[in-house]
């Protein structure tokens, strides 16, 4: 198991623990206040324990999220260190492989665009970079023949993840403030 999966697992465990303790606190407080005029000592201890578990779980959850974010940031920085030539080569290989896979079985070339491969003598397109039958490189690949698209912006998936995380953090902060407010009113803290 890699580190990301382990951190994600612990993140989910602590997030669920926090949510569960908040739900248990609210439920027991509501039931206790309806059932009793004064909350019994044992129920008060349980409520205090739920608050403690919730705060510890929230802190652990946020720390794990921070660690995971920092690790992903380092990995992205390492990926960006590829040279321009490596990126061009990688992009060209992906494009050529995709083209060979797509057109390998059925590739009809009009008569005016036909030529023969110098390696296998297969009929191919004059504008092709690679033979679809043998994979022979027909034209030297230059930087001008491939466009590198740089994406400095945020993708929709990343934006969605960021907004969901911000929403979760806001919800957690609101719950913690409410719990702390109730705890201060009851004299727990």
Q: How many CB atoms lie within 10 A of CB 91?
A: 14
Task: Report whether 51 contacts 25 (CB < 8 A).
Answer: yes
Kindly list the domain boundaries of the chain, sorted by start residue: 3-81+151-186, 84-145
Indicate whether this model's pTM tops 0.85.
Answer: no
DSSP run (H or E) holding 123: strand 123-125
Share the mean pLDDT of the chain. Answer: 76
Res 13 pLDDT > 50:
yes
Task: Report whether 7 contacts 64 (CB < 8 A).
Answer: yes
Nearest to 89 by CA among 40, 131, 50, 145: 145
31-68 confidence digits (pLDDT tens): 888 888 888 888 888 888 889 999 999 999 999 888 88
62-109 confidence digits (pLDDT tens): 998 888 888 887 777 666 666 666 666 666 666 555 544 444 444 567
């Amino acid at each position: 198991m890699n580190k990301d999966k382990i951190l994600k697992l612990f993140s989910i465990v602590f997030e669920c623990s926090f949510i569960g303790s908040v739900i248990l606190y609210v439920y027991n407080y509501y039931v206790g206040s309806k059932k009793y005029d004064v909350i019994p000592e044992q129920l008060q201890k349980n409520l205090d324990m739920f608050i403690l578990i919730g705060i510890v779980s929230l802190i652990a959850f946020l720390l794990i999220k921070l660690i995971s974010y920092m690790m992903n940031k380092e990995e992205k920085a390492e990926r960006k260190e590829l040279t321009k030539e490596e990126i061009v080569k990688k992009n060209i290989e992906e494009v050529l492989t995709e083209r060979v896979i797509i057109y390998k079985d059925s590739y009809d070339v009009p008569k005016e665009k036909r030529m023969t491969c110098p390696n296998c003598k297969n009929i191919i397109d004059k504008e092709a970079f690679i033979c679809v039958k043998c994979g022979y490189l027909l034209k030297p690949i230059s930087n001008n023949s491939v466009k590198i698209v740089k994406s400095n912006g945020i993708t929709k998936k990343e934006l969605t993840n960021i907004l969901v995380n911000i929403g979760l953090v806001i919800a957690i902060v609101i719950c913690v403030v409410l719990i702390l407010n109730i705890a201060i009113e009851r004299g727990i803290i």
